[in-house]
Amino acid sequence: DVKVTQSSRYLVKRTGEKVFLECVQDMDHENMFWYRQDPGLGLRLIYFSYDVKMKEKGDIPEGYSVSREKKERFSLILESASTNQTSMYLCASSQFSGIGSNEQFFGPGTRLTVL
Amino acid sequence: GENVEQHPSTLSVQEGDSAVIKCTYSDSASNYFPWYKQELGKGPQLIIDIRSNVGEKKDQRIAVTLNKTAKHFSLHITETQPEDSAVYFCARQGYTGRRALTFGSGTRLQVQP
């Protein structure tokens, strides 16, 4: 059974802290994604990666960075957490076929609260 | 650009009725249109998808229709059941540009028993 796991379901941090959100997939997928989910705004893409050490900015990359040192792991980093980064963070992975798209598999999400 | 608009934001139906959710997109290069279902406490999961060379696709009680000329696509759920209650997201992806989906804002469907 395919699986995307995220390191925490709930996280509470203080303003200014450095925050690491970890995501691991066991499907040998090339592509990995980080989204944030806010009510009424859907899923907004923060960053994605289509290969080890490769990354591309999504729609809302400001205040975030990412790291992909191994194929199965994609980390989202909040360099200095702020209250407006309180949100649900979702990680996903997919096997890109090159002919349009492929299914994205999502983790259960991390609900981050920044105080 | 690559935006997707989704309506309605909430939808309440009686069990057994049909539910329809609509999305519109603006990028003519869009060629893939998936729908995801998110149950409480879980990540979204693909339920059906359609490519631009097809006008309609069915899978049991769910169907998706695509109108490329008008740039809109819809999810149809027939004979709704309480377990259909969830948040539904439409999305699009193009054959040019980035390898990532652009999602709509979501529809919360409530099926009343």
**DSSP readout, A13-79?**
E-TT--EEEEEEESS--SEEEEEEEETTTEEEEEEEESSTT--EE-S--TTEEEEEEETTEEEEEES
Residue B50 corresponds to which tokens in the numbers above? 């359609």
Q: Does A51 touch chain B (CB under 8 A)?
A: no
Q: Which residue has the higher pLDDT, B54 or A102?
A: B54
Q: What confidence category does residue A19 fall into, taking pLDDT thresholds of 50, 70 and 90?
A: very high
The residue of B35, B52, B101, B108 whose CB has the most chain A CBs within 10 angstroms, and thus the best one to mutate to test that interface, is: B101
A41 with B46: Cβ contact below 8 A: no
pLDDT attached to residue B15: 97
Residue from B106, B50, B59, B69 nearest A101 by CA: B50
| Distance linking the first and last C-alpha atoms of chain A | 37
pLDDT attached to residue A98: 59
pLDDT of chain B, 113 residues: tens digit per residue: 578 999 999 999 999 999 999 999 998 888 889 999 999 999 999 999 998 888 999 999 999 999 999 999 999 999 999 999 999 999 998 766 667 889 999 999 999 99
Residue A52 corresponds to which tokens in the numbers above? 């080890």
pLDDT attached to residue B54: 82
Q: Does A31 touch chain B (CB under 8 A)?
A: yes
Conformation bin of residue A50: beta by default, left when phi > 0, alpha when psi is -120 to 50: alpha
Per DSSP bridges, beta strands B72-77 and B19-25 are antiparallel
Q: Which residue has the higher pLDDT, A77 or B55?
A: A77
The mean pLDDT of A95-114, rounded to a whole number, is 83
B42 with A108: Cβ contact below 8 A: yes
